[in-house]
């Protein structure tokens, strides 16, 4: 009995080994894999490549199929060892080549990195790549920080469905944040809800305004502005209800104030010589409305709005020359640079207290609600049709002069507290919102996490601080778009080709030369492949590049596997005939050598020479 049981195990093992390398297993595997690939191709056209990558190619079951195929190919090749003869050698090469290709494909899917890089000509170098997937980052009540990589499925469910203590219910593509105010505060804080109606546009809008937070004291409605202001005195009330100054009364570029009290209009004086005490002079050389430093550490303006105005003046006193940067915001002292000679004496030049001031330009179209010291409400409205002001009573409509709009006071609060709610927009509403993630805390409460916005989730055990955003990858170098070139077909406006001229900024290797990238013509840098992905016909200052990297050995696997399959196939079909031709050629060469030596013997003997016959 013991001997028989010992003989059973090798027999079963041999049968199992035979099954693993048999054609009976290979055919169903190949049929299943081919069917999956065909179905995935059609499915990809409907849901996109990232979904197919995650649901199929990166799935455990598809990986198991490919692994079983690799085992089948390996066992089939090993079962024919020793590999004698061209057919067996070619068979082994082809099968092991396919195994190497499968390993290389798996490495490409699971190890390689790929993403999209947005670059612009009017911005500095970008090194943040948008890679596949989303990121959930949160801090729990006990202070522990956790991060989870998320994948959004086509039915808007989320994988994984659990992230720490949070349950991830679903993803919303169009979610908005609604804001209103409730009467719950202990501190006085005025808030009003205004209703705007237009019969011509068949439109009704409601907007909340509050004194605090300050960001809700002013709201834009198209080209017009709604405001809420609190007057602390009768004088302030009178000033807030007064007609605005006419256009041009306030210098657009601001004023420069000298120690002597002299005020200089920057716009009118720019580029002109301004005399200073002691024979010195000053010239306003440049103005940056929205000052910032670019990637080359040079001054530029981010916009034409006077958000952070800075001007530059050139000073000269004899052989002494200097340039000063003068700031209007932040209370910064001027940045002084000596160009020639000794440093200038600011006090002697009357510039010790030099200051730059920019007053905001008056609004052209606005509706201002003013809270008087006694709590009564007034309005001041300005438009192209003129200015008007008066008491604001609940339910009474005011026509500010914007088309046929009527504005009325719908609600008012004296102790307002802000109340925000994130809600999903129903289909057909026509409102454009942002993506968000619906989560459930351990106590069962549900709340939306807006895209890219840190949110506090209240729970019975404490607060969670969570953020739902894109998954980003930082490159070891920056990519700057220098120019975007669109070439059109001659005689038409149709696009022939588009090219991104980029510069690579590497702090370690130093500045790199400019390179050009266009369709099917990528560039390579430090193992990263940079290719043209897409462009925006409405914004030629922008380009989207595809950035991809995979280890060198992964590329080597795919090339090695392909080479082994080609060589193995050639050996199978042409190896035997090549061997026959080689063997047939060798005896013919030997016979020819013998006949030549034999023919030489009589000639040698005729000459009386002793020529031994040897082959």
CA 40/CA 109 separation, integer angstroms = 15
Show the 3-state SS of 81-131: CCCCCHHHHHHHHHHHHHHHHHHHHHHHHHHCEEEEEEEECCCCCEEEEEE
Show the 3-state SS of 253-271: CCEEECCCCCEEEHHHHCC
CA nearest neighbour of 532 among 542, 541, 519: 519
**φ and ψ of 519, to 5 deg:** -55, 130
Q: 16 exposed, middle or buried (CB, 10 Å; 0-12, 13-18, 19+)?
A: exposed
CA–CA–CA angle 434, 437, 440 (5° rounding): 145
pLDDT confidence of residue 236: 93
CA 467/CA 450 separation, integer angstroms = 8
Under 8 Å between Cβ of 531 and 514: no
pLDDT tens digits, residue range 218-244? 998 877 899 999 999 999 999 999 988
CA 402/CA 222 separation, integer angstroms = 11
pLDDT confidence of residue 429: 65
Under 8 Å between Cβ of 454 and 222: no
CA 253/CA 266 separation, integer angstroms = 6
Residue 568 makes CB contacts below 8 A (sequence gap 6+) with 89, 90, 91, 92, 93, 94, 95, 96, 97
CA nearest neighbour of 414 among 208, 187, 192, 190: 190
Torsion of CA 300, 301, 306, 310, to 10 degrees: 0
CA 576/CA 559 separation, integer angstroms = 26
Under 8 Å between Cβ of 61 and 54: no
- 3-state SS assignment for residue 525: strand
Successive 10-residue mean pLDDT values, the chain, 615 residues: 55 81 89 92 81 85 92 90 88 92 88 89 90 88 87 87 90 86 87 92 89 90 88 92 78 89 90 88 93 85 89 92 89 89 90 88 85 94 90 91 90 90 76 86 89 85 88 90 88 82 85 85 89 88 90 86 92 86 70 48 45 35
Q: What percent of the chain has pLDDT over 70?
A: 93
b/e burial code for range 103-119 (CB count within 10 A of at least 16 → b)? bbbbbbeeeeebbebbb
DSSP 474: E
Under 8 Å between Cβ of 405 and 419: no
CA nearest neighbour of 210 among 240, 189, 236: 189
pLDDT tens digits, residue range 498-515? 899 999 988 787 777 789
pLDDT confidence of residue 247: 62
Sort residue 447 into left (φ over 0), alpha (ψ -120 to 50) or beta: beta
CA 359/CA 252 separation, integer angstroms = 8
Q: Which helix (H) or strand (E) holds 316?
A: strand 310-317
Distance from the first to the final alpha carbon of the chain: 68
Domains of the chain by residue range: 118-127+473-551, 137-179+422-470, 188-236+370-414, 255-357
Residue 242 makes CB contacts below 8 A (sequence gap 6+) with 380
CA 448/CA 166 separation, integer angstroms = 12
CA distances from 173 to 425, 433, 457, 559 (A): 9, 8, 20, 42
CA 448/CA 171 separation, integer angstroms = 9
Torsion of CA 555, 559, 562, 565, to 10 degrees: -120
Strands 366-371, 224-230: pairing is parallel
pTM comes to: 0.54
b/e burial code for range 361-393 (CB count within 10 A of at least 16 → b)? eeeebbbbbbbbeeeebbbbbbbeeeeebeebe
**φ and ψ of 386, to 5 deg:** 130, -175
Q: Which sign does the torsion angle of CA 502, 506, 511, 513 carry? A: negative
> Residue for token digits 């089939």?
76
Would you tell me how many other CB atoms lie within 10 Å of the CB of residue 326? 22
């Amino acid at each position: 009995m013991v001997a028989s049981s010992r003989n059973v195990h090798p027999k079963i093992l041999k049968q199992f080994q035979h099954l693993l390398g048999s054609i009976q297993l290979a055919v169903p595997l190949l049929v299943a894999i081919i069917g999956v690939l065909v179905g995935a191709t059609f499915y990809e056209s409907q849901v996109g490549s990232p979904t197919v990558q995650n649901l199929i190619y990166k799935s455990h079951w598809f990986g198991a199929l490919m692994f079983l195929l690799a085992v089948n190919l390996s066992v089939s090749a090993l079962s024919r060892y020793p590999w004698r003869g061209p057919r067996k050698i070619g068979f082994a090469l082809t099968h092991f080549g396919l195994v190497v290709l499968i390993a290389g494909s798996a490495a490409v899917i699971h190890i390689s990195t790929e993403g999209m890089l947005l670059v612009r000509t009017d911005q500095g170098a970008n090194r943040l790549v948008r890679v596949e997937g989303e990121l959930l980052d949160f801090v729990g009540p006990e202070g522990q920080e956790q991060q989870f990589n998320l994948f959004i499925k086509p039915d808007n469910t989320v994988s994984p469905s659990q992230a720490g203590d949070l349950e991830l219910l679903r993803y919303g593509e169009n979610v908005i944040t609604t804001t209103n105010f409730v009467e719950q505060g202990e501190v006085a804080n005025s808030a009003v809800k205004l209703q705007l109606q237009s019969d011509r546009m068949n439109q009704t809008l409601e907007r909340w305004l509050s004194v605090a937070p300050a960001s809700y004291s002013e709201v834009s409605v198209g080209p017009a502005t709604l405001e809420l202001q609190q007057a602390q005195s009768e004088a302030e009330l009178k000033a807030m209800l007064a007609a605005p100054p006419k256009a041009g009364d306030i210098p657009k570029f601001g004023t420069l104030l000298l120690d002597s009290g002299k005020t200089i209009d920057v716009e009118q004086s720019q580029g002109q010589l301004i005399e200073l005490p002691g024979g010195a002079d000053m010239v306003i050389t440049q103005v940056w409305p929205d000052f910032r430093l670019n990637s080359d550490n040079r001054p530029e303006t981010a916009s034409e709005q006077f958000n952070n105005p800075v001007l530059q003046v050139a000073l000269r006193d004899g052989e002494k020359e200097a340039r000063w940067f003068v700031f209007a915001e932040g209370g910064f002292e001027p940045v002084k640079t000596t160009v020639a000679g000794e440093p200038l004496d600011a006090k002697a030049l009357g510039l010790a207290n030099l200051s730059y001031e920019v007053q905001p330009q008056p609004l052209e179209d606005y509706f201002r609600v003013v809270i008087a010291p006694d709590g009564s409400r007034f309005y001041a409205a300005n438009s192209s049709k003129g200015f008007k002001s008066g008491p604001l009573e609940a339910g009474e409509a005011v026509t500010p002069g914007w088309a046929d709009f009527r504005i009325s006071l719908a609600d008012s609060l004296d102790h307002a507290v802000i109340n925000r709610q994130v809600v999903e927009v129903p289909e057909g509403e026509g409102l454009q919102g942002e993506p968000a993630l619906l989560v459930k805390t351990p106590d069962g409460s549900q709340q939306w996490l807006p895209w890219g916005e840190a949110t506090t989730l209240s729970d019975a055990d404490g607060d969670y601080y969570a953020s739902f955003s894109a998954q980003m990858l930082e490159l070891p170098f920056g990519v700057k778009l220098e120019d975007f070139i669109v070439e059109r077909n001659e005689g038409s406006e149709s696009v022939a080709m588009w090219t991104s001229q980029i510069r690579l900024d590497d702090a370690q290797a130093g500045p790199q030369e400019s390179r050009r990238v266009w369709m099917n013509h990528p560039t390579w840098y430090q193992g990263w492949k940079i290719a043209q992905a897409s462009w925006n016909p409405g914004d030629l200052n922008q380009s989207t590049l595809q950035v991809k990297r995979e280890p060198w050995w992964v590329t080597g696997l795919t090339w090695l596997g392909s080479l082994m399959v080609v060589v193995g196939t050639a050996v199978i079909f042409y190896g035997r005939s090549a061997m026959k031709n080689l063997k047939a050629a060798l005896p013919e060469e030997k016979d020819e050598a013998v006949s030549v030596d034999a023919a030489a013997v009589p000639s040698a003997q005729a000459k009386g020479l002793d020529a031994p016959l040897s082959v």
